[in-house]
């Protein structure tokens, strides 16, 4: 722990360092995260102390900058100098990066977490796209030019009714929770961005291009996702287009990265025991053995944070993000724990005091649209039928306990809806058996979801309602008064509010 | 890469490896992913190619060229102000700068993720959701305060425990807890 112990437990590959804590000034305790400033104490160390300085130990590693080599190259042409003399001063030099924590093991730990987390996000993202039933009607499809990228689409089920709540809650909450892991992963490999020479050969060039797609794609997805759930629409286009195609650009590079790196990752993870690392204090923390990964600093500063500390800090970041976010997807009394999430508060008291995706005012609903003159038009083979709200209330009323779940990740627990079954309305429209899909139109002005098409399986489900009441009272204007659609397991925006017409058997 | 060098024989393969720098499988896999990226990328760029390209490349660089210098320099400045000597004193445990770094870092992370709400960058938030837009800054400040308070408690615990378990050599043990 103290001066006497510092030479113990040096990992293989790191030359034994004589005890120096006793006589080296305290400044040597440089920062784990801050490498830029050269440390005088470290500069004065003998060359043999720097684990990275033996080129023989690094087959294929970048050439080290040697003073003589630099002087020689100064006499040659500038181009030749740039190519042969090694990296220019600055971040392209491996010794610029001084954190003793950087190394393949730490990178692999973060990599493993992302290797598990990102496929979950990708799959839940694809499921969310399928949940919109985009193949049913152009109006349901926010990315109509998808081509083969919709190859996997299927009829979104209505059972279990909480499925979309779960998949989309996981998608968004996991995305938020993975932010610190992603940042830590990028921090751990930053020397690679500046690796010298910038391009070694054709394979290296392609790989770097692939990494641009990987890193750019990952952050593009995280940033657009986070901005969208916060309703901060500053990105350059429709969220659906950017997030969906961005995901496909990213995932190819992700698969390639996994294929290339999984052997290294496996080897690195086996090189150290997590349990041992979690017991290693700061003063016992040593760099990982020098290798050709380009991650281990050849001139490491003394650790000011252990690997346990670094993993703990990242884990704490994830935990705190989870704590201030997850409540908006869990709902109930836990909602108020989501202190920073967009839907962490209730809009008000009473039976209608549950989450609103878009208020009546925000989509241009006026009092006249939903007043006494409101009518519902139901169309089908038997012709056109017009109902007032009072007439609808005279039809057989059914009830269902169903949640609202939004693409933004928040959701509500089950609300108790009652109204007319969609399949009963289909029967009136002329479909006595096997009702087909239905085109739903609303009084909304503009907006992407002022009309939608529900699939036959959704219409047939006996819990699918044109709801008139919720939790025992009339719907509030913000929840779709006079009548709204509620379908089990349907994305929130497809539970159309302020419905004005239902056209059975039509998709437009 | 090297790990994918399944095919070991054959002059053609060797030639490719020498010229290209990796196994043919590497080349095939990369080209395959590029084809997918191009297929999706053309659709991604449609509409606003320049804007999307800037966002995409910007996203690739924002961490390394903006965030890292930002938090590294902040950390440096912090150490300069507090004195790096703080590190050696807490040798047995964590250098006490970590008791500032960790809560500060987590607080910054929360701001990074939720800044549009915390800094009220979403003018339509209340109109759209019917929820109050002015709670987030207060929540963030309270959480930040709680993080630093918890950190202070941890530091205090560590100091007390250290002074009990292992009295320091040069100084008389009694005077330690006051530090």
Q: Give the pLDDT score at B95.
A: 82
Mean pLDDT (10-residue bins), chain A, 508 residues: 32 36 35 39 36 37 48 56 77 93 97 98 98 96 96 97 98 98 97 92 95 98 98 97 98 97 97 95 93 93 94 98 98 96 96 96 96 97 97 98 98 98 98 96 89 98 98 98 98 97 95
Torsion, Cα A119 A124 A125 A130, to 10 degrees, reads 130
Q: To 5 degrees, how large is the angle CA A312–CA A318–CA A322?
A: 140
B171 within some domain: yes
Task: Categorize the per-residue pLDDT at B18 as very low, low, confident or very high, splitting at 50, 70 and 90.
Answer: confident
The answer on B106 and B31 residing in a single domain is no
For residue A108, count other CB atoms closer than 10 A to its CB: 26
Q: What are phi and psi of B14, to 5 degrees?
A: -60, -45
B69 within some domain: no
Q: Which residue of A has its CA nearest to B28?
A: A256
For residue B150 the two structure tokens come to: 């918890």
B63 within some domain: no
B61 within some domain: no
| Coil, strand or helix at A435 | coil
**Distances, alpha carbon A282 to alpha carbons A181, A286, B86, in Å:** 21, 9, 14
Q: Across the interface, do A316 and B27 touch by the CB < 8 Å criterion?
A: no
Return the minimum-mean-pLDDT range out of A283-292, A465-474, B46-55, B160-169: B160-169
B90 within some domain: yes
Q: Give the pLDDT score at B165.
A: 75
Contacts of A212 in chain B (CB under 8 A): 57, 60
Cβ-based neighbours of B31, under 8 Å, separated by 6 or more: A206
Task: Categorize the per-residue pLDDT at B167 as very low, low, confident or very high, splitting at 50, 70 and 90.
Answer: low
CA end-to-end span of chain B, whole Å? 55
Give long-range contacts, CB 8 A cutoff, 24+ apart: B116-120: B116/A227, B116/A230, B116/A231, B116/A232, B117/A230, B117/A340, B117/A342, B118/A340
Q: Give the pLDDT score at A29.
A: 37
Q: Across the interface, do A212 and B128 touch by the CB < 8 Å criterion?
A: no
Half-sphere exposure of B49 (CA within 13 A, CB side): 4
DSSP string, A327-376: HHHH-GGGGGG-SSSTT-S-S-SSTT-S--SS-TGGGT--GGGGSTT--E
The answer on B98 and B41 residing in a single domain is no
The answer on B110 and B28 residing in a single domain is no
Q: Which residue of B has its CA nearest to A353?
A: B130
The answer on B106 and B27 residing in a single domain is no
Q: Does B73 have pLDDT greater than 90? A: yes
CA end-to-end span of chain A, whole Å? 74
**Is residue A160 within 8 Å of residue A89, measured between CB atoms?**
no
Q: Across the interface, do B33 and A21 touch by the CB < 8 Å criterion?
A: no
- What whole-number distance in Å separates Cα of residue A7 and Cα of residue A29? 16
Q: Does B5 have pLDDT greater than 90? A: no
Render pLDDT for B110-135 as a digit per residue (tens, 0 to 9): 999 999 999 999 999 999 999 999 99
Task: Out of A201, A206, A248, name the one closest to residue B36 (CB).
Answer: A248
* Interface-testing mutation among B42, B47, B59, with chain A (most A C-beta atoms within 10 A): B59
B109 within some domain: yes
Q: Where are the domains of chain A?
A: 104-323, 361-504
The answer on B178 and B97 residing in a single domain is yes
| Coil, strand or helix at A415 | strand
Find the domain containing B33 and state its range: 1-46
CATH of the domain spanning A361-504: 3.90.420.10
Q: Give the pLDDT score at B15.
A: 84
The answer on B87 and B172 residing in a single domain is yes
Q: Give the pLDDT score at A77.
A: 64
Q: Across the interface, do B91 and A283 touch by the CB < 8 Å criterion?
A: yes
The answer on B24 and B95 residing in a single domain is no
**Is residue A202 within 8 Å of residue B21, measured between CB atoms?**
yes
Contacts of B56 in chain A (CB under 8 A): 216-217, 220, 246, 249
The answer on B94 and B28 residing in a single domain is no
For residue B99 the two structure tokens come to: 């008791």
Q: Which residue of A has its CA nearest to B18?
A: A201
Q: Does B4 have pLDDT greater than 60? A: no
Q: Across the interface, do A183 and B101 touch by the CB < 8 Å criterion?
A: no
Determine which helix (DSSP H) or strand (DSSP E) holds A393, and give its type and residue range.
Answer: helix A389-394
Q: Give the pLDDT score at A85.
A: 72
Task: Out of A203, A306, A362, name the one closest to residue B21 (CB).
Answer: A203
Task: Out of B27, B63, B87, name the one closest to residue A304 (CB).
Answer: B87
Q: Does B89 have pLDDT greater than 50? A: no
Longest dimension (CA), chain B: 77
Q: Give the pLDDT score at B80.
A: 84
* Number of domains composing chain B: 2
Count contacts between A and B (CB, < 8 Å): 266
The answer on B103 and B41 residing in a single domain is no
Q: Across the interface, do B27 and A147 touch by the CB < 8 Å criterion?
A: no
């Amino acid at each position: 722990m103290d001066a006497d112990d510092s030479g113990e437990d040096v990992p293989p590959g790191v030359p034994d360092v004589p005890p120096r804590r006793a006589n080296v000034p305290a400044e040597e305790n440089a920062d784990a995260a801050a490498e830029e400033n050269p440390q005088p104490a470290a500069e004065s160390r003998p060359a043999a102390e720097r684990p990275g300085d033996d080129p023989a130990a690094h087959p294929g590693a970048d050439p080290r900058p040697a003073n003589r080599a630099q002087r020689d190259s100064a006499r040659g042409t500038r181009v030749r100098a740039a190519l042969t003399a090694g990296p220019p001063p600055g971040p392209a030099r491996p010794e610029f990066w001084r954190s003793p924590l950087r190394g393949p093991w730490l990178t692999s730990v973060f990599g493993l977490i992302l290797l598990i987390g990102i496929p979950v996000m990708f799959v839940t993202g694809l499921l969310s796209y399928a949940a919109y039933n985009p193949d049913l009607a152009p109006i349901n499809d926010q990315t109509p030019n998808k081509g083969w990228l919709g190859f996997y689409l299927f009829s979104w089920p209505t059972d279990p009714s909480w499925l979309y709540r779960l998949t989309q809650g996981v998608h968004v909450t996991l995305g938020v929770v993975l932010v610190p892991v992603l940042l830590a992963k990028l921090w751990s490999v930053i020397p690679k961005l500046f690796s010298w020479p910038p391009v070694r050969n054709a394979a290296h060039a392609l790989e770097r291009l692939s990494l641009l797609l990987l890193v750019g794609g990952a952050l593009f997805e995280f940033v657009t996702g986070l901005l969208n759930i916060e309703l901060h629409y500053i990105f350059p286009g429709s969220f659906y287009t950017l997030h969906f195609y961005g995901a496909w650009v990213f995932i190819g590079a992700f698969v390639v990265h996994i294929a290339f790196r999984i052997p290294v990752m496996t080897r690195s993870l086996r090189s150290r025991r997590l349990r041992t690392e979690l017991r290693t204090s700061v003063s016992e923390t040593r760099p990982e053995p020098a290798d050709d990964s380009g991650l281990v600093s050849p001139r490491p500063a003394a650790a000011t944070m252990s690997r346990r500390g670094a993993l703990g800090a990242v884990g704490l970041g994830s935990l705190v993000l989870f704590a201030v976010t997850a409540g908006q997807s869990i709902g109930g009394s836990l909602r108020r724990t989501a202190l920073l999430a967009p839907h962490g508060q209730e809009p008000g008291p009473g039976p209608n005091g549950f989450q609103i995706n878009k208020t009546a005012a925000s989509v241009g609903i006026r009092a006249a649209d939903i007043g006494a003159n409101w009518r519902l038009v139901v169309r089908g083979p038997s012709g056109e039928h017009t109902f007032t709200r009072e007439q609808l209330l005279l039809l057989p009323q059914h009830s269902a306990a169903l949640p609202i779940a939004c693409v933004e990740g928040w959701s509500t627990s089950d609300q108790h809806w009652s109204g007319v079954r969609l399949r009963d309305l289909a029967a009136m429209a002329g479909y006595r058996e096997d009702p087909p899909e239905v085109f739903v139109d609303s009084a909304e002005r503009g907006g992407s979801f002022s009309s939608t098409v529900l699939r036959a399986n959704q219409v047939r489900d006996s819990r699918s309602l044109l709801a008139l009441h919720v939790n025992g009272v009339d719907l509030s204007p913000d929840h779709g008064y006079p009548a709204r659609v509620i379908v089990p397991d349907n994305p929130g925006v497809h539970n159309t509010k302020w419905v004005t017409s239902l056209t059975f058997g039509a998709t437009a | 890469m090297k790990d994918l060098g399944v095919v070991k024989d054959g002059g053609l393969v060797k030639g490719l490896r020498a010229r290209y720098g990796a196994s043919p499988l590497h080349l095939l896999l990369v080209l395959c992913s590029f084809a997918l990226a191009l297929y999706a990328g053309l659709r991604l760029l449609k509409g606003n190619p320049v804007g999307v390209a800037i966002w995409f490349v910007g996203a690739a660089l924002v961490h390394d060229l903006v965030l890292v210098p930002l938090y590294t320099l902040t950390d440096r400045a912090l150490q300069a102000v507090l004195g790096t000597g703080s590190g050696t004193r807490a040798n047995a445990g964590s250098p006490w700068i970590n008791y500032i770094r960790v809560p500060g870092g987590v607080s910054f992370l929360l701001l990074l993720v939720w800044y549009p709400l915390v800094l009220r960058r979403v003018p339509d938030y209340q109109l759209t959701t019917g929820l109050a837009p002015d709670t987030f800054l207060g929540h963030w400040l309270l959480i930040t305060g709680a993080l630093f308070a918890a950190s202070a408690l941890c530091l205090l615990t560590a100091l007390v425990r250290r002074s009990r378990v292992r009295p320091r050599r040069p100084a008389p043990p009694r005077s330690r807890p006051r530090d």
